[in-house]
Amino acid sequence: MPAIEISNLTKRFRDVTALDDMSFSVPEGEIFGFLGPNGAGKSTTINILLGFTQPTAGSARVFGSDVRTESKQVRQRTGALLEGYGVYERITAREHVERAIRAKDADDDPMAILERVGIPEAADRKAGGFSKGMRQRMAIGMALVGNPDLLVLDEPSTGLDPNGTRELREVIREENRRGATVFFSSHLIDQVEAVCDRVGILKNGEMVTEGSVTDLRAQLDAATVTVTVERAAPSSLLADLRGIDGVEGVEATDNQVLVRARGGDAKLRALNAIERAGVGFADFTTEDPSLEEIFEVATLGTRSGRERDGHAEAAPEGEA
């Protein structure tokens, strides 16, 4: 049984369609990255999963329980860190965790939780005086209460410093080793890439692509080949390169030619063309697309021609 199973889920807020016939599932034991730009529908999905928002159509199940009719069972098995979680200013960190323990009918040691999230020294301080990062750490601790089978984390690295984000990744991995499924929602690709087994990319309420980071890279099998040359490449070479089937962008500086090529054949033909051009082919490196590029393609539908390392932008096809 999948940890999360979402089928044809639609959510409309008056004239806004936040989720549009979205379907996907997360197998038990997975760390799933739920990626999407602002407004894609991530929080709406989480609110539906936890029973805080009712879907307009479709269904969502958590470990087989229907989130509409069995939200109590769902919440009992789920630890959630929600965006904009409200901190009670007048009670301490320990009291926050104790509340979560009571709500879950769990028997965790509040101090052990606060130690895990790195704020044991703040246990008896009122949360009203906490920094953003401390609030976030406390909220993560509350999500861990009761060893949940599913951890739902909405933008968990918000407010955390680099140490905090590293510790968060460690906690996620520990929870996953213990057996928890993790649903990690974020618009921050590097955070997701660092810890997730699989990612789904949401755009305008629809899942546009789904797979392991490796699968997604393979789908978008383009790579940038950077060739170091001894002499500046003449415009005739750049035109030839742009004419190769599968070459999507060409940039040149005095001693480098950058070719963005889709598929091994295009890469090879580009390298051969540079070698034949007599510009003193010295060396080359290739770079696979990053998850960021995959995200960009999935959410914008195009690969951007933004500047790389201060080099000039690639000229459009045919403009040598």
300: CB partners within 8 A, 6+ apart? none
**Nearest distance, CB of residue 55 and ligand ATP, angstroms:** 12
> Which residues within the stretch 243-302 sit at the binding site for ligand ATP (CB under 6 A)?
none
Alpha-helical (H) ranges within the chain are: 42-49, 71-77, 93-104, 110-116, 132-144, 162-178, 189-195, 213-219, 235-242, 264-276, 291-300
Among 31-39, 97-105, 137-145, 281-289, which window interacts with ligand ATP (CB under 6 A)?
31-39
**Nearest distance, CB of residue 11 and ligand ATP, angstroms:** 8
Q: Should residue 187 be labelled a site residue for ligand ATP when binding is judged by CB under 6 A? A: yes
Q: Should residue 104 be labelled a site residue for ligand ATP when binding is judged by CB under 6 A? A: no
**Nearest distance, CB of residue 44 and ligand ATP, angstroms:** 3
Number of residues that bind ligand ATP (CB under 6 A): 12
Would you state the structure tokens that stand for residue 261, as one six-digit string?
């090529």
22: nearest Cα among 235, 285, 269, 204: 204
> Which residues within the stretch 9-28 sit at the binding site for ligand ATP (CB under 6 A)?
13, 16, 18
**Nearest distance, CB of residue 181 and ligand ATP, angstroms:** 20
Cβ-based nearer residue to ligand ATP, 61 or 187:
187
Cβ-based nearer residue to ligand ATP, 82 or 294:
82
Give 73-77 contacts, CB < 8 A, sequence gap 24+: 74/49, 74/50, 75/50, 75/51, 76/104, 77/148, 77/149, 77/150
**Nearest distance, CB of residue 50 and ligand ATP, angstroms:** 13
Cβ-based nearer residue to ligand ATP, 108 or 155:
155
Measured in whole angstroms, the distance separating CA 53 from the mean position of its chain's CA atoms is 23
> Which residues within the stretch 32-91 sit at the binding site for ligand ATP (CB under 6 A)?
36, 38-44
Element (H, E) at 25: strand 16-26
Q: What is the three-class DSSP state of 14?
A: coil
Using CB under 6 A as the criterion, which residues of the chain lie in contact with ligand ATP when the complex forms?
13, 16, 18, 36, 38-44, 187
